[in-house]
Amino acid sequence: MKSKFDTKYVVMTAMFIAIAFVAVLIGKIVPNVAGFLSYDPKDAIVVIAGFISGPLTCVIISVLVSLIEMLTISTTGPYGLLMNIVSTCAFAVPAAWFYHKKNHTHKGAVIGLGLGVAFMTLCMLAWNYIVTPFYMGVDRSVVGGMLMSVFLPFNLSKGGINAGITLLLYKPLVTALRKAKLIKESSNPQKKTFNWGFTIFALAVLLTFAALLIVLI
């Protein structure tokens, strides 16, 4: 039984790694903010995997996808690798942890994602202040002047968009995985009903933060 479980976990994790990397490629279509801050939707895929399998899965997928990105299409080298891992984990791990703590409820998902957005935004302010001067080759005061005007709204919009995408895609992906027998069926019949209000809320979150990102671009 344990071997069967491990095989399913490996297959599911590999699938999410592939989807997350495709999301990285899709994100390349979006213009950069301030010339080097790039949005990609992979964080939504990572946190969905975490909602299913727990926070540790978020870390595993984040590290592997970031490594693949650095070795294939990235031009930012170790700096991009580090910041990608930190940013994704700061968003996905708190969200997945809270969702599991609240027993997979809609409320738990929304609050967890809110925590993820807030923690990632604050975390990246600190990491950008510390690391970005070395990447840009500028004085730390220059980066400090960009924290509130560039880094804060960018990370807030990035997190908000990925939260909206997560709320929209989680149920369809879970349904597909259940049909593929990669995860067990839900024991709660209410979770199988379509919730228009929740979908409208997710769309509102997505569109609001997408509008903010468009303004920054």
Handedness of CA 20, 22, 28, 29 (dihedral sign): negative
pLDDT digits (tens, 9 = 90+) for 113-150: 999 999 999 999 999 999 999 988 999 999 999 999 99
Q: How crowded is residue 6: how many other Cβ atoms within 10 Å of its Cβ? A: 10
Lowest mean pLDDT among 70-74, 79-83, 144-148, 174-178: 174-178
CATH number at residue 160: 1.10.1760.20
pLDDT value of residue 1? 43
CA 27/CA 29 separation, integer angstroms:
5
- Of 176, 178, 55, 174, the closest CA to residue 112 belongs to 55
What is the chain's percent helix, strand, coil content, to nearest 5? 80, 0, 20
Q: Please tell me the total count of domains within the chain.
A: 1
> Domain span at residue 182?
2-216
